[in-house]
Structure 1
Amino acid sequence: MPLTSATAHTITTAHGPLRYYRAGNTGPAVILLHGAMLDTAPLVWGAAIPALQDGYRVFALDWPRHGGSRPWHGPTGQAGLEEAVAELMDHCGLASARLVGLSLGGGIAAGFAARNPDRVERLVLVAPGGMEGRRVAQGSTYLYLRTPGLLRLTTALFAHSPALIRVSLRAALVEGADHPDFAEIVALAEQEMRSKREAGELVMDDWQISSYGWRRMRTDLRPLLRHIACPTLVVRGDRDSVVPLSAVEETARLIPGADLLRVPDAGHLLPRDRPEEFHAALRAFL
């Protein structure tokens, strides 16, 4: 659903613009952090923002080089994206907030919470990235990411093949093309791909690319998790094909006092796959 009830704002930073969407006037501050590749705040949180705005002050950030946060000339690894969260909070006068992050956004939220325990009141990690020492096809993925031209070729394929975007989104949603918001989600992803092409960006994020080493993941946040001091909920859809259940279970074990929630019949894009179940769990926890 379009974000008709949210207002778009832009922060001018030393590295470029940061776009965020704002909704709700009362209650605790909640910051929503989306995932990688073609994700944007409207695509991932388009249903969550209206569901939360009557009881929370909601801030949904477009990561650098996503949505309205371009052109961007600063770092976009773990430290750079954590800095973007701090920029948003400082700009909006938020001494602390409740963070909700999906995939890449979950990894950034976890790292930020571990390093800034006084600024995070509650934490929701939805199939968070950066929680594994080694991934399936580790070596071959590393070679793919570092072979000249292959990432550019992949980007060109997505840019010139809208059908490829539709196929990937159909696979990402449990209901596929029968999802009631499928046309809207596809349109937002296609728009994001056009923006990447016009900006000369790759379809994959720097965070994803830099995370892979030859034998081990270079981004492994697990040693930091014991420093997270706030109440934490870790969530995963039972049909998630991106982040394995073992990684999510370990994440919940390593965070002191964390709860684990498994949502039936939901994939990696859980906030869109099962919005009613997700929003109910979110509101109960936040």
Structure 2
Amino acid sequence: MSSTFLYGANVHANGIRQHYLRYGGAQGERAARPAVIVIPGITSPAITWGFVGEVFGATFDTYVIDVRGRGLSEASATLDYGLDAQAADVVALAAALGLERYALVGHSMGARIAARAALQANGALESVVLVDPPVSGPGRRDYPGKLPWYVDSMALARQGIDAEGMRAFCPTWTDEELRLRAEWLHTCDERAVLASYEGFHTDDFHADAAQLTLPALLITAERGDVVRDEDVADLQHATPALQHVRVPDAGHMIPWDNAAGFYAAFGDFLGAPLAQQAESVTAEVTI
């Protein structure tokens, strides 16, 4: 498949500089479909999700964003790194880009941002996809990812680390993926990451998910222990219309572990199936 990458750009929205990468564009069949905003996780600048943007861009006008305090978006000692501010960024970005119809696809922290943004957004937001969201929060078990893993790897990245040094943190990743993480991890502001990690345990994701009134899809990893079967049951009990797909042979970083299974999990939920799917991959769907 030829590249669908168009350009990277900045926009002033919600009072800060927000950086994004655009894939696909709004020409041809994509013009009739909602745009897609991809919101990465806690230490994932937009460029590390570029391979996902490439695939989405073949079917949708796609924007992969740098969450505040990551990548090339604004960061500072005085910036609010709370969930409400992150969600307001997404809604303001969509408005600044003039998107009349769009969907949110959030991974991990990005899924929690997407769920909160859905409570703030206007009618332009049509659907939300929540990819392996941390279900930790008040009165619930801790997030399984441990804080030193993030802090230690970011400290090494700020000093300068190569792909081989990053392998100790991400042993299953390819050389190319490790090089990209080693290159860009230093752009993740530690203050932003600490605030988001704390929010994993103080913000109530289940309460946000229970208020979703637009079409929503939950995509979870078979491995990784982030979203267990009982968590899915709780979420679907609170939001019966929430669709769910469990992706086999994948840990928390689903598209890294099973890209074909990840793309297949969307089906036609966004209005059209994603172009790159492996026919041999099947996913268990519960509605």
2:37 counterpart (26, 31, 36): 31
Percent identity, please: 24
- The structure with the greater share of residues assigned to helix is 1
Task: Measure the CA separation in 1 of the matches of 2:264 and 2:151.
Answer: 40
Which sits farther off after the overlay, 2-11 or 108-117? 2-11
What SS does the aligned partner of 2:260 have?
Answer: helix
Measured at CA, do residues 111 and 3 of structure 1 come closer, stay the same or move farther in structure 2, by a change above 3 Å? farther
Counterpart selection for 1:67 from 64, 71, 74: 71
CA pair 154-41 structure 1, distance change in 2 beyond 3 A = closer
Deviates more, 1:113-122 or 1:234-243: 113-122
Distance 2:38 2:214 in 1: 17
- Return the letter of the residue paired with 2:133: P
CA distance in 2 between counterparts of 1:234 and 1:55 reads 20
CA distance change for structure 1 residues 218 and 14 in 2, over 3 Å: closer, same or farther? closer
Structure 1 unpaired stretches of 5+: 171-175
> Do 1:226 and 1:256's aligned partners in 2 also have CA atoms closer than 8 Å?
no
1:246 matched to 2:253? The reply is: no
CA apart distance, 1:117: 6.0
Q: Are the aligned partners of 1:117 and 1:228 in contact in 2 as well (CA < 8 Å)? A: no
Q: Report the alpha carbon displacement of residue 107 of structure 1 after superposing the two structures with TM.
A: 0.3
> How big is each residue's C-alpha offset from its partner over 1:129-180, in whole Å with a ceiling of 9 and x where there is no partner?
3554332489xx7xx89xxxx997674345445555322222xxxxx14xxx
Q: Distance in 2 between matches of 1:222 and 1:194?
A: 31
Is 2:242 the counterpart of 1:258?
Answer: yes
Assess, with a 3 A threshold, how the Cα gap between structure 1 residues 19 and 2 changes in structure 2: closer, same or farther.
Answer: farther
Distance 1:17 1:106, change over 3 A: same
Quote the Cα distance in structure 1 between the aligned partners of 2:181 and 2:262: 22
| Match of residue 100, structure 1, among 96, 101, 105 | 105
Do residues 229 (structure 1) and 229 (structure 2) align? no
For the 8 Å contact 2:129–2:217, the answer to whether it is kept is yes
1:217-258: per-residue Cα shift (whole Å, max 9, x none)?
A: 311122232321111110111012444443344233322401
Q: How many residues align?
A: 259
Query: Structure 2 counterpart of 1:274, which letter?
Result: N
- Tell me the amino acid that sits aligned with residue 169 of structure 1: C
Equivalents in 1 of 2:230, 2:157: separation in Å? 31
Alpha-carbon contact 2:13-2:93 (below 8 Å) kept: no
| Contact 2:134–2:226 under 8 Å retained in 1 | no
Cα distance in structure 2, aligned partners of 1:31 and 1:54: 14
Amino acid in structure 1 at the alignment position of 2:64: A
1:1-286 matches, within 5 Å, as 5-13=5-13, 15-24=15-24, 25=26, 26=31, 27-37=33-43, 39-44=44-49, 46-72=50-76, 73-116=78-121, 118-133=123-138, 134-136=140-142, 155-157=154-156, 159-160=158-159, 162=162, 163=164, 165-170=166-171, 176-177=172-173, 182-196=174-188, 201-202=189-190, 205-211=193-199, 217-286=201-270
Is contact 1:43-1:188 (8 Å) kept?
yes
Matched letter for residue 267 of structure 1: G
Change (3 A) 1:14 1:236: closer
Tell me the CA shift for residue 64 of structure 1. 1.0
Separation of aligned partners in 1, 2:151 and 2:56: 38
SS of the aligned residue for 2:190 comes to coil
Kindly report the root-mean-square deviation, in angstroms, between the aligned alpha carbons of the 2 structures: 3.0
Does the C-alpha gap of structure 1 residues 207 and 108 become closer, same or farther in structure 2, counting only changes over 3 Å?
farther
Tell me by how many angstroms 1:124 deviates. 0.8
Higher relative contact order (CA 8 A, sep 6+): 1
Contact 1:66–1:192 under 8 Å retained in 2: no
Distance 1:152 1:222 in 2: 27
Contact 1:236 1:245 in 2 (8 A): no
Q: Do the aligned partners of 1:232 and 1:255 also contact (CA within 8 Å) in 2?
A: no
Report deviation, 1:97.
1.4
